[in-house]
Amino acid sequence: MEKVYVGMSGGVDSSVTAALLKEQGYDVTGVYMKNWSQDLPGMKCPWREDYQDAKRVAVQLGIPFKMYDFEREYRQKVVDYMLAEYQVGRTPNPDIMCNQEVKFKLFLDTALADGADLIATGHYARISCYEREGPAAISSPTGITDVSHGRRPQIASPTGSAASLLVAKNKNKDQTYFLYRVGGEALAKSLVPIGEFATKAEVRKMAKKFGLATAEKKDSQGICFVGKVGIKDFLLHELGEQPRGAIIDQNGKVIGEHDGAIFYTIGQRHGLAVGGGLPYYVTGKDIAKNEIYVTTDLQDGQLWRRDLKITDLHWINDQPKPNKTYQVRTRYRAPLLACTLDIGASSAVVKTSEAIRAVTSGQSAVIYDGEKVLGGGVVI
């Protein structure tokens, strides 16, 4: 019997994940990852409540339950990375780094060392396993054979196997954008059964069927650890007050003063405190000069990009082919756009079929081939 450690956050998705896998015959252990416990101004960190909710579900399911304390590593790998990126003027995505460094690396390695054969999470995505030499498919293309009847999928053996990442059946909740930096070997040791559900309502219906304590619990909002606290408030808490500087319009005229260049991102409209007339949009910033550049023209060329240069490349399995049309997504839930790739040794140029508004340095461009996620890189 394969032993699966399920990352249980205290939410309904990971609760249903644990229940489904137990029903399918896996030897399931629930694990709460303690990544962040610090209270922030105006918000008490809910980790204790989430831990108790996860534990309550584990008791309901009759499965062992553990807590892994990853707080120190999380601060180093995710929070410090995010703060450093903001300080040099980029807008990072900490959820992507969390998946890369914590959930599908640190959690996976710790679970395997603790006796697990596989891990599972409540992500909205699908995984297809295959042997590298072949590639002969040895599991269903969804990574789970039949959710409704509980038949177990055939899992790729850890040796010589890899996996592809596929979009979830629920396109509105699909989280593959945040998972593009997870490697094929890690995916081959992971299960994500929630990706098979077409709607969130189906997940909650399944939670009620199992009688889970989290069936009606609301989804968490915001960045993975900041929660309901705004990113500006979090940066102020961590980095302190920032030097004020000039806001300069498209004509080179100083029209106001900002309260810290690191707080602003491309395309931002609110929070500029420039009153009267047409709304202004951020088109750029110069951290060294401590200046913010804005425009009232939505068609301003500084707001739109067609050729995106990306670095820190990561391909889940094989590098995309040249002269082939793929699709790119530049932010979570953004529409997919047709693109071609010019890939170099350490960077690539993504040439899109149409201009994209407010592409921001530090964010990720994720490449898709239909429903398959190929990988991507960080926009510069």
Which sequence positions are flagged as catalytic? 98, 224
Beta bridge partners of 291: 286
Determine contact, residues 351/307, Cβ cutoff 8 Å: yes
Q: What was the pLDDT predicted at 140?
A: 36
Q: Residue 1 to residues 15, 77, 114: CA-CA distances in angstroms?
A: 21, 34, 16
- What band does 146 get if pLDDT is binned at 50, 70 and 90? very low
Q: Tell me if domain 242-295 and domain 303-379 are identical in fold.
A: no
Looking at domain 242-295, does it have CATH number 2.30.30.280? Answer: yes
Q: What was the pLDDT predicted at 159?
A: 40
- What separation, in Å, do the N-terminal and C-terminal C-alpha atoms of the chain show? 47
Of 140 and 191, more confident:
191
Residue range 289-302, pLDDT digits in tens: 999 999 999 999 99
Nearest partner of 164 among 138, 203, 146, judged by Cα: 138
User: How far apart (Å, rounded) are the C-alpha atoms in residues 324 and 376?
Assistant: 15
- What band does 158 get if pLDDT is binned at 50, 70 and 90? very low
Going by the DSSP 8-state scheme, the letter that residue 268 receives in this structure is -
- What band does 133 get if pLDDT is binned at 50, 70 and 90? very low
Pull the structure tokens for residue 311: 């670095």
pLDDT at 324 over 90: yes
C-alpha 280: how far from its chain's center?
A: 29
DSSP3 helix / strand / coil % (the chain, rounded to 5): 25, 30, 45
Comparing 37-51, 177-191, 214-228, the range with the smallest average pLDDT is 214-228
- What band does 274 get if pLDDT is binned at 50, 70 and 90? confident
pLDDT at 138 over 60: no
What is the average pLDDT score of the chain? 90
Residue range 222-241, pLDDT digits in tens: 555 666 678 888 999 999 99
Of 132 and 99, more confident:
99
Instruction: Find the mean pLDDT for residues 112-136.
Output: 83
Q: What is the pTM of this model?
A: 0.90
Nearest partner of 361 among 321, 280, 302, judged by Cα: 302
pLDDT at 54 over 60: yes
71 CB-side CA count, 13 A: 7
Q: What was the pLDDT predicted at 148?
A: 33
Pull the structure tokens for residue 64: 């062992």
Q: Give 62's contacts (C-beta < 8 A, 6+ positions apart).
A: none
Q: What was the pLDDT predicted at 280?
A: 95
Determine contact, residues 12/36, Cβ cutoff 8 Å: no
Pull the structure tokens for residue 258: 């900002």
Q: What was the pLDDT predicted at 129?
A: 86
Instruction: Indicate the class that CATH gives domain 303-379.
Output: mainly beta
Say which amino acid occupies 168. A
Q: What was the pLDDT predicted at 149?
A: 29
pLDDT at 121 over 80: yes
C-alpha 52: how far from its chain's center?
A: 24
- Give the dihedral sign, CA 261/262/266/269: negative
Helix (H) / strand (E) element for 114: namely: none
Domain ranges of the chain: 3-210, 242-295, 303-379
Q: What was the pLDDT predicted at 275?
A: 72
User: How far apart (Å, rounded) are the C-alpha atoms in residues 4 and 189?
Assistant: 9
Percentage of the chain lying above the pLDDT 70 cut? 90
Q: What three-state secondary structure class fits 246?
A: strand
Q: What was the pLDDT predicted at 48?
A: 93
Q: What was the pLDDT predicted at 32?
A: 98
Q: What was the pLDDT predicted at 206?
A: 98
Instruction: Find the mean pLDDT for residues 141-161.
Output: 38
Which CATH architecture group holds 3-210? 3-Layer(aba) Sandwich (3.40)
- What band does 44 get if pLDDT is binned at 50, 70 and 90? confident
* 301 C-beta neighbours (distance < 10 Å), count: 10
Instruction: Find the mean pLDDT for residues 337-355.
Output: 97
User: How far apart (Å, rounded) are the C-alpha atoms in residues 72 and 282?
Assistant: 35
pLDDT at 366 over 90: yes
- Give the dihedral sign, CA 130/136/138/143: positive
